[in-house]
Chains A and B, each alone.
Chain A
Amino acid sequence: MKTQWIIAAALSAGITLPALAQDKVKLVDVVELSGAGATAGTNWKNGIDLAVADINAKGGILGKQIEIVHYDTQTNPGNTRAAVQRAIDEGTYAVLGPVFSGPIGASMQIAQRAEIAQLVGGEAAGLTKQGNQYLFRTSLSQAAAMPKIAKYLKDTVKAGSVAVVWVNNDFGKGGRDAIIPELEKAGIKVAADVATEQGQADFAADAIKIKNSNADAVFVYLNEEESARFLRAAKQQGITKPMVGETTLLGAKVIELAGEAANGVKGHVGLSIDAPIPAFQEFGKKFQAKYNYASDHNGLKGYMAVYMIKWATEKQKKFDKKGVADTLRGATIKPSDEPGILIETTIEQNGDLDRESFLAEVINGKQVINATLPKIKP
């Protein structure tokens, strides 16, 4: 009798499990949930979870529910490689993440070899210069953002000299290497070029150095927590010159951590829940309601990444892993076609993005958008 029960259970499991598997499409998110990238990674993950919940509630992708799995890389390139490989071995439909450029650079070849699309949050200019046909950004690259910053520093801030403080990782080095030629082209002198370490806690010496450079403005290109610590140190040292940054510096987490020291910070933001785009604001409200804090740009990136996959799959009308990348390359996704994309987004052949972006300032602890900048290739 017992044997019969076991056989019956095994048979029923054999019948039901494939049926369940057929009803789901697996997506693996390889992300920084701890370590230096925890803030960015947590926002990215929550954005993804929000998108997955929305899509599943509306019937999924081509009738299949999304099964999302998150693997914590601990912001470690070695762990990231292992996690991407594991994701592919487990049959992920596409790889989501990571967010930090260094771990992306260390792991992107694995998804490329498997011919699986990898949608990442990294902004380092070099990532899309390596001929990887399977890597796609979810934000503007540094190469697209830095000319806008240099123009802003020259025309709006009217800076004749700028001190550059950057984090010594792939993201920061890429940003530093992208901004300095743009500043020189704009006729702006680089008064100080200060490297800091990822995860650095004490910025007093760096702030003193920047203060003594007597630059007209400071360009800050650090990760979230370091940005907040630097802004606090700068305030402590009495730096009153304009602090200008790119997206991260004006992020919600930086504003929260830096407190009063964030007021007056200006810069360019690629994505923001405060942008004058109703879909962004709607996303911001949903995110706030679900997670009880304000999303930064990484939350938006994660959300849009899932919708990029959904759009590509529905466009090709089938689940074809390689086809996702083929469909995304060169595409323009409009909110009228896929509302989840939130803003018209053009995907270049190399995986870079082109879309509208914004100039912003932090006033009374809130990011305020001052202007909308058009796409580079409207």
Chain B
Amino acid sequence: MAEFIAYLIAGIATGAIYALAAIGFTLVWQTSQTINFAQGEFVMLPAVLVLLAIKLLGAPIWLGALIGIAAFILIFGVGFKLAVVDPMIRHGVLPLAIATMALSIIMKEGAKDGFSAEAQNFPSFVPTQTIEVFGAAISLQHIAIIACAFAVIGLLQWFVGGTKLGRQMQATAQNPMVARILGIPVERMVLLTFVINAALAIVASVLISPIYLAKFSNGEVIGLFAFIAAIVGGFNQVRGALVGGLVVGIVDSMAAAYISTQYRLAVPLVLLVVIILLKPEGLMGRKEERRV
């Protein structure tokens, strides 16, 4: 039992990170009907920028974090929307999807050349100790990841469903034309969505980098699993991304424990295939119909 709890907590912690990244997929999907293939790199880069600010400016951690986070939101929240999404979306969703693939490569190679090809330590804001829960040693870092991720997702859910601004965002996502007629500043709402996506990526980056270490290639794994999580949970629902992230994280952990460490990567992919075959809209997703 203790063993099962340990695997479960580890899986939930990993899944919570996937969920944060997967929510980014759903937000971008809802506002621009496209897939941001640079989502993994969005999670990789904030940690790198923070370390870069510390290294280049000789700044203390807190200042480096502030500078790195501000730079990320400016460049990859506001800048991403203005420089990539706005010019490309006029030409359809496919050019935009391809542009995000290019962006992913640029972010990765930029981090490699501008920072380091090697992994670097990233400071943890929680001690690396364990506590015992039902006989299982549970890492405080895992508990912090789960608590922070759920708090942020809860806050997002409250913001989207419980505030006027959030409801305007939802209305924009559901039907931009009608939203515009109703007087909602659609452009501003779309921009807000991208800023929120950047903020979620920062939270995921800060939570995971002390464990994964900060490295330019981290986005590959995170992006892939978050993408799977978004599909499993439902690409058009924030709560779907949450459920998908947790399911993928737990399945990955349990697969390593009870099936095979060698084939653990294959198990979430099998899950993805099963979901696509049986419930293509995802576990929590909403069926969408389009006229072509």
Contact = CB atoms under 8 A, between A and B. Distances in A.
Interface in B107-126: 112, 117-121
Contacts of B262: 168, 195
Given A34-B112, A232-B211, A42 B256 contact: no
Contacts of B220: 199
Contacts of A241: none
Interface string B204-222: 0000000111011110110
Interface stretch (A117-125, A202-210, A306-314): A202-210
A345 interface: no
B213 A237 contact: no
A236 B128 contact: yes
Interface in A10-53: 33-36, 38-39, 42
Nearest to B210: A232
Nearest to B109: A34
Interface in A214-256: 225, 228-229, 232-233, 235-238, 253, 256
A202 B137 CA distance: 17
Nearest to B113: A34
A91 interface: no
A106 B147 CA distance: 46
Contacts of B7: 205, 208
Given A168-B262, A235-B128, A237-B130, A201 B218 contact: yes
Contact of A229 (B211, B253, B260): B211
A212 interface: yes
A261 interface: yes
A237 B139 contact: yes
A199 B215 CA distance: 10
B128 A228 contact: no
A79 to B, nearest CB: 14
Nearest to A42: B118
A186 interface: no
Contacts of A195: 260-262
Interface string B248-274: 000011001100111011000000000
Contact of A237 (B137, B212, B260): B137
Contacts, number: 93
Nearest to B257: A205
B99 to A, nearest CB: 23
Interface in A142-159: none
Nearest to B249: A202
A195 B6 CA distance: 19
Interface residues of A, number: 37
Given A201-B218, A229-B213, A260-B128, A208 B6 contact: yes
A377 to B, nearest CB: 37
B16 to A, nearest CB: 12
Contacts of A199: 217, 220-221
A196 interface: yes
Interface in A107-151: none
B6 A261 contact: no
A206 B13 CA distance: 15
B176 to A, nearest CB: 38
B3 A208 contact: yes
A34 B216 CA distance: 9
Contacts of A256: 121
A257 interface: yes
Contacts of B120: 257
A225 B260 CA distance: 22
Contacts of B130: 236-238
A194 B256 CA distance: 9
Contacts of B141: 236
B218 A209 contact: no
Contacts of B13: 204
A201 B3 contact: no
A197 interface: yes
Contact of B212 (A35, A197, A206, A229): A229
B137 A225 contact: no
B10 interface: yes
Contacts of A225: 118-119, 213, 215
Rank and list the top 4 A-B pairs by shortest CB-CB distance, nearest first: A204-B10, A205-B256, A236-B139, A38-B117
Given A205-B264, A257-B121, 6 more contacts: A36-B217, A38-B117, A208-B6, A236-B130, A237-B130, A237-B137
23 contacts: A34-B216, A168-B262, A199-B217, A199-B220, A201-B211, A201-B218, A202-B14, A204-B14, A205-B264, A206-B261, A208-B257, A225-B213, A228-B119, A229-B211, A229-B213, A232-B128, A233-B211, A236-B142, A237-B137, A256-B121, A257-B120, A257-B213, A259-B121
Interface of B: 3, 6-7, 10-11, 13-14, 112, 117-121, 128, 130, 137, 139, 141-142, 211-213, 215-218, 220-221, 252-253, 256-257, 260-262, 264-265
